[in-house]
Amino acid sequence: MRRPPAFGLAAIAAVVLIAGLSSLAAQTKPVWSADEQPIVDQLRGLRQVPDDARGGVTRQLATNIRRLPVTPGKLHLAHDLANLSTEGDFGKQTLQEVATTLAEALREQPLPNVDGAPADPYMILAQLVKYEQVQVSLDAPQLAAALTRIEADEQRRASADITLQDLDGKEWNLHSLRGNVVLVNFWATWCPPCRKEIPDLESLYASFHKQGFVVLGISDEEAGKVGPFVKEHNVSYPILLDAGRRVNELFAVLGIPKSFLYDRDGKIVATAIDMRTRQQFLAMLAKAGLQ
């Protein structure tokens, strides 16, 4: 789950990068130990691992992190691995191992709230529990608060409306699209997982558009950056501009890509907390009656 260059939770002002710039609030970059440095190096190259091998590598990394002694670096590594583990479909076992590792690190080193909200690692863990159906044994009020916050965000999205203009100045309104199956996809040109899923979104849009399938891609960047990217990558579904991040904030989008699928009655039937593969998108669409 890639973080945008600036977002409010935990006052994080940078993309989560494995080079030590983790989004653990109020903590400085750790000095990696001799045991931690090889894991840091593997995390840096994890996106270059072929998808059919990435699940196994991720599981081994989760195990290796759990074996580390308790240091601030251990929690950083567990958090960063969790951020990378949902970029595609690497298996339920992989996500379970990652969640177990993050929960253990938080049990060893609990984090205080930041600006009255659970610190980011609790939010990441809560998303894995809620949307990826993993099981964790962490009896922490911060995790409970994170899950409560997710439920509140869901309720707000369920009734939220969107009115934004696309690159051509055409206005789009979510409620007016009732009767269609609508996928709202938050993305950005700088986000590698976002770019990776665009071809699948484009293919699915072409396949199901005549059945009333609409993709609304929402970017918080300026038109001058989004327009050339869309043209270069032949994106044909509507791209809406949210330069002021009003809709991003309404939907509590703290990491991208993130997708919400509405059925023909305007009800959210599926949520993707990160990049999805074609098969994962197809499973989402099936929940809205598209097959």
Average pLDDT, whole number, for the chain? 91
pLDDT computed for residue 30 by the predictor = 80
In a shared domain, residues 120 and 174: no
Is 88 inside any structural domain?
A: yes
pLDDT band at 174 (very low <50, low <70, confident <90, very high): very high
Total domains in the chain come to 2
Per residue in 45-97, pLDDT (tens digit) is 999 999 999 999 999 999 999 999 999 999 999 999 999 999 999 999 999 99
168-172 mean pLDDT: 97
In a shared domain, residues 192 and 148: no
Give the C-alpha separation, 54 to 97, whole Å.
Answer: 13
In a shared domain, residues 29 and 145: yes
In a shared domain, residues 139 and 190: no
In a shared domain, residues 134 and 30: yes
pLDDT computed for residue 50 by the predictor = 97
Picking from 154, 174, 208, the residue at the C-terminal end of a domain is 154
Is 4 inside any structural domain?
A: no
Quote the domain boundaries for residue 272.
Answer: 163-287
pLDDT at 265 over 90: yes
pLDDT computed for residue 184 by the predictor = 98
Is 75 inside any structural domain?
A: yes
Per residue in 210-263, pLDDT (tens digit) is 999 999 999 999 999 999 999 999 999 999 999 999 999 999 998 999 999 999
pLDDT computed for residue 23 by the predictor = 44
Which runs of consecutive H residues, i.e. helices, occur in 160-213? 192-208
CATH number for 229: 3.40.30.10
Picking from 115, 132, 154, the residue at the C-terminal end of a domain is 154
In a shared domain, residues 121 and 216: no
In a shared domain, residues 48 and 130: yes
In a shared domain, residues 84 and 114: yes
For the full predicted model, state whether its pTM sits above 0.95.
no
Per residue in 132-154, pLDDT (tens digit) is 999 999 999 999 999 999 999 99
Is 2 inside any structural domain?
A: no
Sign of CA dihedral 69, 70, 73, 76: positive
In a shared domain, residues 184 and 136: no
pLDDT computed for residue 157 by the predictor = 93
Is 1 inside any structural domain?
A: no
pLDDT at 105 over 90: yes
Is 90 inside any structural domain?
A: yes
Picking from 104, 134, 154, the residue at the C-terminal end of a domain is 154
Give the C-alpha separation, 103 to 105, whole Å.
Answer: 5
Per the DSSP assignment, residues forming a β-bridge with 171 are: 165
The tokens describing 188, both together, are 């950005």
What are the residues whose beta carbons fall under 8 Å from the beta carbon of 251, sequence distance 6 or more? Answer: 153, 156, 157, 160, 184, 186, 258, 260
In a shared domain, residues 135 and 202: no
